[in-house]
Structure 1
Amino acid sequence: MTHVKICGLTDPDLVRFAAREGADWIGFNFVPGSPRRVTPEAAASLLLQVGKARPVALLVEPPDAEVDAIVALGFPVLQLHGAETPERLAEIKARTGREVWKALGVATRADLDTANTFAGADRLLIDAKPPKDAAYSGGHGQVFDWTILEGWQPAAPWMLAGGLTPDNVASAIAATGAPAVDVSSGVERVRGLKDRELVRAFIRAAKQP
């Protein structure tokens, strides 16, 4: 069964709802400029609602002090969403002892080759490249050409992201063989605010037999 990450939640009731509906991971966004950003203080309360889901902290090129502060909140997974190098990822893994994921925007097969330089990641999150001059790196609701994934041999476990919705996630899984999927804007009716029915529909569509 496909695993699901619901990303960018900011409301405790929705965190609890997503966990009850079967989300495997719930992402909390600490990226400045994102409409889904949460503060460490807010995250401390949100973490109380995750149930059996695993919380994931989204960070962009975090300095050690930020990494330490996020880990101190109890996050078991850190997702790097910036221009971090494989070496920096390894440093953060060694410093924290936590799972560290790397998100990468792709548009061509060459981008997948770049993704595979992060063999030390615990998981690769393969997303669409953000629009030019975008203020932040994810959550733009864009789909990339899934055919570039044909025959790709990932260097680490991976997850599909980029423009997924309740309407297209089953097709995306069938087309790519993705073992896990990530959604943020695809379960929003208002930018930055998740919708319960869309969250439920996405999880059910992704996990259908």
Structure 2
Amino acid sequence: MSDIKVKICGLSTEETMEAALDAGADMVGLMFFPKSPRHVSLTEACKLADMARGRAEIVAVTVNMDLDGLSRIKELVGPDTFQFHGSETPESLAAAKVMHGTKVMKAISISEKADLEQAHYYAIVADRILFDAKPPKDSVLPGGNGVSFDWTVLKDLDLPKPFMLSGGLKMDNVAEAIRLSGAREIDLSSGVEREKGVKDPDLIRAFMAAVKGAEVAAVKE
């Protein structure tokens, strides 16, 4: 196992964006969901996207957004990928992909192995599937809740598209998460925050170092 791809999601300041880019993040996520503490305005997102362009894949994270909203993000921010983290249908992903010419990623909420079934329907259209833990019942956020699921349900998953593991990942458990799930791509948000919605540059750097350490350990096994 080597070359694990990392997406740092919910970046909202120039300092943390630079930390993520300098540490080698492959993908950076900008959150367009007003209920989230990580939400960024279009103006803020433009600045952050300009920093990342050519250095990492820019992902615009949306939740049940209409096509007009997606069009504005595409026009002003210019993301490489749209991540759909709500109850969007495969048909709506296909429409966005054709209309905007971007890649599309669909988040699937997991609490048990049976939840994986829907991933096969979305994989027909999506360029990537993101597996996240089902949110706690009292949460208004579909993701970024800092909770995990049983990573072993992803082991030996037969999916025609790449998949990304998310949910409750942090510096001290990412190596185990990679080993148990077999994931080659990981996504995190709350695991590098000093408080809800506030990323910490030092935690970002430490997490990226932990991922590299996990890769080295796996090669030696």
- The two structures have a TM-score, normalised by structure 2, of 0.91
Name the amino acid aligned to 1:170: A
Deviation at 1:150, TM superposition (A): 2.8
Aligned to 2:211: 206
Aligned to 1:176: 181
Inter-partner Cα distance in structure 2 for 1:50 and 1:207: 21
Q: Which deviates more from structure 2 when the two are superposed, residues 103-112 or residues 49-58?
A: 49-58
Partner residue of 2:96 out of 82, 92, 95:
92
Q: Which runs of 5+ in 2 are unaligned?
A: 217-221
Name the amino acid aligned to 1:41: T
Partner residue of 1:158 out of 150, 156, 163:
163
Inter-partner Cα distance in structure 1 for 2:200 and 2:69: 30
Q: What's the Cα RMSD here? A: 1.1
Deviation at 1:48, TM superposition (A): 2.1
Deviation at 1:207, TM superposition (A): 2.6
Inter-partner Cα distance in structure 2 for 1:20 and 1:181: 18
Partner residue of 1:67 out of 65, 70, 86:
70
- Secondary structure of 1:116 counterpart: helix
Deviation at 1:50, TM superposition (A): 1.4
Asked if 1:24 is matched to 2:26, the reply is yes
Inter-partner Cα distance in structure 2 for 1:133 and 1:17: 32
Aligned residues: 209
Asked if 1:77 is matched to 2:81, the reply is yes
Partner residue of 1:5 out of 7, 10, 17:
7
- Secondary structure of 2:121 counterpart: coil
Q: How does 1:103-142 map to 2 (within 5 A)?
A: 103-119=107-123, 120-142=125-147
Inter-partner Cα distance in structure 1 for 2:183 and 2:207: 15
Do the aligned residues in 2 keep the contact of 1:118 with 1:155 (CA within 8 Å)? no
Partner residue of 2:56 out of 32, 53, 56:
53
Do the aligned residues in 2 keep the contact of 1:3 with 1:207 (CA within 8 Å)? no
Inter-partner Cα distance in structure 2 for 1:140 and 1:154: 26
Inter-partner Cα distance in structure 1 for 2:165 and 2:14: 25
Inter-partner Cα distance in structure 2 for 1:169 and 1:186: 10
- Secondary structure of 2:7 counterpart: strand
Aligned to 2:151: 146
Inter-partner Cα distance in structure 2 for 1:63 and 1:17: 32
Structure 1: 4+ residue segments shifted above 4 A: none
- The two structures have a TM-score, normalised by structure 1, of 0.96
Do the aligned residues in 1 keep the contact of 2:33 with 2:63 (CA within 8 Å)? yes
